[in-house]
Amino acid sequence: MPITVGHDSAGTRRTLSAGGSTLAYYSIPAAQEAGLGDFSRLPAALKVVLENMLRFEDGKTVTIDDIKAFAAWAKNGGKGDRELAYRPARVLMQDFTGVPAVVDLAAMRDGIKALGGDAQKINPLNPVDLVIDHSVMIDEFGNPRAFQMNVDREYERNFERYQFLKWGQGAFNNFRVVPPGTGICHQVNLEYLAQTVWSDVDQNGEEVAYPDTLVGTDSHTTMVNGAAVLGWGVGGIEAEAAMLGQPISMLIPEVVGFELTGRMMEGTTGTDLVLKVVEMLREKGVVGKFVEFFGEGLDHLPLADRATIANMAPEYGATCGFFPIDDETLRYLTQTGRDKDRVALVEAYAKANGMWRDADYAPVYTDTLKLDMNTIVPAISGPKRPQDYIALDRAAQAFGQYVKGIRDKKDVNVVAEGRWEGEGGAPEPVDIPGDEGHHNRGFVKTKDGHYQLHDGSIVIASITSCTNTSNPYVMIGAGLVARKAREKGLNRKPWVKTSLAPGSQVVSHYLEAAGLQEDLDAIGFNLVGYGCTTCIGNSGPLAEEISQCIADNDLIGTSVLSGNRNFEGRISPDVRANYLASPPLVVAYALAGDMNVDISKDPLGTDKDGNPVYLKDIWPTQKEIADLVERTVTREAFQEKYADVFKGDEKWQSVETTDAETYDWPATSTYVQNPPYFQDMDPEPGTIDNVQGARILALLGDMITTDHISPAGSFKSETPAGKYLTERQVSPREFNSYGSRRGNHEVMMRGTFANIRIRNEMLDNVEGGYTKGPDGSQMSIYDAAMAYQEQGTPLVVFGGEQYGAGSSRDWAAKGTALLGVKAVIAESFERIHRSNLVGMGVIPFEFTGGDTRKTLGLTGEETVDITGLEDVKPGQDTPCTITYADGTTKEITLKCRIDTAIEREYVEHGGVLHYVLRDLAKRPVAAE
């Protein structure tokens, strides 16, 4: 399908020659020559957005004034507030967010037929790639069979979902599926799908070059910004609208410049750098902003490290973290197998359109900050937020303080010895560094012998996530640590569940070529699958006796992973403290087995002769790593592994499905159900209703993440979701995960706000998804919401700062809407979740005038009225009346976080997909 461009009122269309071809492009220098303003010092990230305006300028959705606004932005020192209609070139999905998106598209086909429209109007207009990477779980580990057994189990659990996705691949145009076992979507995107500069035929039959841009249904879509591809995460709802031709509504962003100088020191990694960057930018405050990296330090920063930094943009709160095109971009594109004509086009285009970074690159930024990479030291982050940066030599001390805080706050007997019922008597208690009486202990007997667990025992050590497995420097580094440890006779501690889950098959290729996979296998880091695994909570069950010991003795179990998220309750229900670290440090911590060990100076173990072995004894030099990377990470490896990326293995090829235009929803399926969004929908929208007589469903604190709100991870039979499945004869062993059941709204709405660590302040010291029902008794949030729905009572949720931080989980908004919540009132919102709420017709409001849930003395017994919504304008102050249990009232003012005019229309329609569906239903059927 050809791309559609605007009518170029400003006359900015030009031609350039590259790779033996001549192509058209939309020239920013030409726009400046036409008198539209001075764009010469715009950051490269913003020039990508400006080019989008030039290419789609039509005098309606994009105007000349939109283009001029960029010059005004630069003149005003990086400030502007103009609303833009931005059209990304493509959409990226993974299966957890992709299944519900395809479910919605299938439901929209049913819905448009009910409105008298043509089902074929529901087709992606922009290319969509869906990579199946979120479904594999680590059931088996530490042995050569682990990979195949986990893949087999993945297909057993997810066959219904895979049938559905394969139907979608055949039913929808412009929609491709990368099968299971290939890699993680962001790494596949970085290594293969992304092109940095695209070219395509427009409606006039001419070849046009333009920047590669995308939105993705996963917050870490930002990873590809390391290759100068502008992309960020959006909710599945917003992505569906984008793929159906709806522009992304956005305000012209502020751009914070992050200057990097110097170069990384011996013994440090790109992971150490990104953890420091996350800490600095969280402290700076960049929510809703672009961050662009610049400075002479980029001359010494490989693209793999840039991608690691770009990946964690959601963790530092930015919309994206962008690296401009330079020589390193071209080197990476060449190394990873891109066509040489494409690489030539990238260089020619970037230089012609002012997007090339050289020594003179000095744009205007809204604000700046600076980091000398020479100051970076080894570090980890945790125990529950990515921005909780800890230098490695302080990690053990910081963990001790964390444990002491928990134990003191709980006011419990903190040295509760576990019972030992094995033969031969109990092992001697170990001396825990910095114990100070604040460590619970318990004894375990397994086939590996008997040992003691205590607060800080590392029970999961996982090399996982595209954040780091996309980086051959840290992966080769991890392999070399394993090799040197193996040579000295070290091994993982027997209570540590170890795993290696690369983001692409290329990683296995170079680890095997370097002979390092054998060393990793020897200490338990066998391949367990190609997917996200531990990073998204698919860590699989711990050994039953270890899990039981943690529960019986109230232990603070610990995980160390090379991922990007370590929120409470995310990694494993048995693990309370989670730390992010580089892959080499993950290996080292598996050898130590204990967060109380200061691995920067304490021994990791003893060698074959009983001599202590320290981290410095097994840490590779940068030259050792670089030499192996140069020898084993080859262009040919990327070309070979991606040659048949959409074909899949025999298992995928054997999945059978129908070729029907609409989906035949299986009534008995517990994975895929027709959602209620479009059923009995009126042809015309209504108005925005006031919120009247609403009750409070949840009263929540600061930093409530989408992991707290959206159903994620595993769940038990006594939960509402577990009861639903049990009633349908699904055994707990077959529950799978919430993520795998995102295509079934009945499961998902029962799991909304059901995180095991969430705390509803309406209840005293209660963890989990509970609230007070209409009768005042404690019950699950789902049951209470259904009881209120039966009474016809609307609901609201209150929160603190950074409400909705974390992943772009559309079910955090979908579940909220299906529970009957009409408004969410918080001190501040993270970008993606705010947008998702609007996309589901739920209105976000922010407190004003210093009001908070605490200053208002809210207990959950109040009723809430929000008026003036019939004519509400974007960002408008709105009156709110809170009526307390004793009948007294308080009038406050809320800021409506419907941010743009088009968002107001979305809410009027009941959501963005309702808006699109009604619009498509009215359009005439296109001629064949």
pLDDT of residue 418: 31
Distances (CA, A) of 158 to 531, 665, 679: 14, 16, 27
Average pLDDT over residues 674-681: 91
pLDDT of residue 808: 63
Contact, 877 vs 866, CB < 8 A? no
In angstroms, how far is CA 825 from the centroid of its own chain? Answer: 24
Residue 547, pLDDT > 80, answer: yes
* Cα 623–Cα 628–Cα 629 angle in degrees, nearest 5: 95
Average pLDDT over residues 397-406: 92
pLDDT of residue 1: 65
The domain made up of 90-375 has a fold known as: Aconitase; domain 3 (3.30.499)
Domain ranges of the chain: 90-375, 379-637, 691-708+794-921
- Considering 88-92, 133-137, 239-243, 676-680, the range whose residues carry the highest mean pLDDT is 88-92
pLDDT of residue 371: 98
Phi, psi of 545 (to 5 degrees): -70, -30
**Residue burial 551-585, b: 16+ Cβ < 10 Å; e: rest:** eebbbbbbbbbbbbbbbbbbbbbbbbbbbbbbbbb
| CATH of the domain spanning 379-637 | 3.30.499.10
Convert the pLDDT of each residue in 333-375 to its tens digit.
999 999 999 999 999 999 999 999 999 999 999 999 999 999 9
Measured on CA atoms in the order 470, 176, 902, 57, is the torsion positive or negative?
Answer: positive
Residue 642, pLDDT > 70, answer: yes
Share of the chain above pLDDT 90, in %: 81
E strand or H helix at 919, and its extent? helix 912-922
| pLDDT band (50, 70, 90) for residue 434 | very low
> Distance from first CA to last CA of the chain, Å, rounded?
14
Residue 631, pLDDT > 70, answer: yes
Distances (CA, A) of 88 to 23, 63, 125, 213: 20, 17, 11, 5
Convert the pLDDT of each residue in 525-544 to its tens digit.
999 999 999 998 889 999 99
| pLDDT band (50, 70, 90) for residue 488 | very high
| pLDDT band (50, 70, 90) for residue 927 | very low
Q: Which residue has the higher pLDDT, 285 or 737?
A: 285
Contact, 272 vs 111, CB < 8 A? no
In the structure encoding, which two tokens stand for residue 223, read together? 């990873």
pLDDT of residue 439: 66
In this structure, the chain runs to a length of 928
pLDDT of residue 421: 35
pLDDT of residue 925: 60
Residue 818 CB neighbour total at 10 angstroms? 22
How far is residue 752's CA from residue 782's CA, in Å, rounded to a whole number? 8
Task: Calculate helix-pair angle for 64-75, 44-56, nearest 10 degrees.
Answer: 160
Helical H runs in 614-664?
615-618, 622-632, 635-641, 650-653
Task: Provide DSSP, 385-439.
Answer: -TT-EEEGGGHHHHHHHHHHHHHHHHT--S--PPP--STT-PPPPP--TT-TT--
| pLDDT band (50, 70, 90) for residue 428 | very low
Convert the pLDDT of each residue in 692-727 to its tens digit.
999 999 999 999 998 899 987 778 899 999 999 999
Residue 417, pLDDT > 60, answer: no
Residue 427, pLDDT > 50, answer: no
pLDDT of residue 185: 96
Mean pLDDT of the chain: 92
| pLDDT band (50, 70, 90) for residue 240 | confident
Residue 207, pLDDT > 70, answer: yes
Residue 415, pLDDT > 80, answer: no
Largest CA distance in the chain: 88
The pTM of this model reads 0.86
DSSP 8-state secondary structure symbol assigned to residue 5: -
Residue 257 CB neighbour total at 10 angstroms? 22
Residue 319, pLDDT > 90, answer: yes
Contact, 701 vs 854, CB < 8 A? no
pLDDT of residue 651: 93
Convert the pLDDT of each residue in 255-311 to its tens digit.
999 999 999 999 999 999 999 999 999 999 998 899 999 999 999 999 999 999 999
Measured on CA atoms in the order 608, 609, 612, 613, is the torsion positive or negative?
Answer: negative
Share of the chain above pLDDT 70, in %: 96
Q: 691-708+794-921: which CATH number, 3.20.19.10, 3.20.20.70, 3.40.50.1000, 3.30.460.80?
A: 3.20.19.10
Q: Which residue has the higher pLDDT, 251 or 340?
A: 340
pLDDT of residue 568: 80
In this structure, the strands spanning 863-866 and 795-798 are: unpaired
Convert the pLDDT of each residue in 15-57 to its tens digit.
999 988 999 999 999 999 999 999 999 999 999 999 999 999 9
90-375 against 379-637: fold identical? yes
> 767 exposed, middle or buried (CB, 10 Å; 0-12, 13-18, 19+)?
middle
Residue 559, SS3 per DSSP: strand
